[in-house]
Amino acid sequence: MFRVVAVAALAVVLASCATQYQQSSFTGGSDVKELRPDVYRVSFQGNGYTTKESVQVYWLYRCAELAVEKGFSGFEILSDMQFVMRRPPTEDRIGNPLASSIASLRTRIPVSPEEAAPAALWRHDLDLAHRSVTPTRLARGGATFIYIPSGGAAVPKPGIEGDVHFLSKPIQSAPPKIFNARDLLAQLEPLVKAERCNNGNVCPHVHDYLLPKGKLQ
């Protein structure tokens, strides 16, 4: 009886905190689907306490981690994505930080017809033994929100899903679309493993790893 109560209490505690970096579970997490040996659909689902910023960091970290696990140098985002950004700190005329310095903005990663065309080819390529006969489609990417009732109110559960193409040759990062996996891991690991903010979320930060070099103003 005590064990049942302890497990129930632990479940309540976990459910009242933001989703951590983990594989998919009842509190959320990452899920991976192989579309072909070098193309994967990666998703990360948060719970009602998880911020979009945390979900985004975990999704990018999982993509980079998976690339290294599979022996690739980096990855290219195939899906049409929209990431949340944070402006770098700014000051007003007398040197005081402006409130807008922590405001959010969005950056979009479009998919051109040329980039989408190769992805369309492997939807109908059934030569690989591990492939399903069911056609797949390119994930649209970006943030998704699922609303669940909580005491009569709707609670958003942020999630993100996108397809990534792993690259074998040594590459340099060209964010926000192409990333060197080990470099991105080095940039995100301090955020993923640092102390948490706001119910266990990744602490707010400037997303300089999503901007091309020299573009952070």
Under a CB-based contact definition with an 8 Å cutoff, are residues 101 and 206 in contact? no
C-alpha span between 89 and 93 (Å, rounded): 14
The three-class DSSP label of residue 159 is strand
C-alpha span between 25 and 2 (Å, rounded): 24
Q: Where are the domains of the chain?
A: 2-210
**pLDDT score at 6:** 35
Q: What does the pLDDT look like over 35-80, one tens digit per residue? A: 999 999 999 999 989 999 999 999 999 999 999 999 999 999 999 9
Distance of CA 91 to the CA centre of its chain: 30
- In angstroms, how far apart are the furthest CA atoms of the chain? 66
Mean pLDDT, residues 142-161: 60
Global pTM? 0.73
Going by C-alpha positions, the residue among 16, 42, 8, 25 that lies closest to residue 201 is: 16
Question: 198 burial class (0-12, 13-18, 19+ CB within 10 angstroms)?
Answer: middle
Question: What DSSP assignment string belongs to 29-60?
Answer: EEEEEEEETTEEEEEEE--TT--HHHHHHHHH
**pLDDT score at 87:** 63
C-alpha span between 26 and 179 (Å, rounded): 30
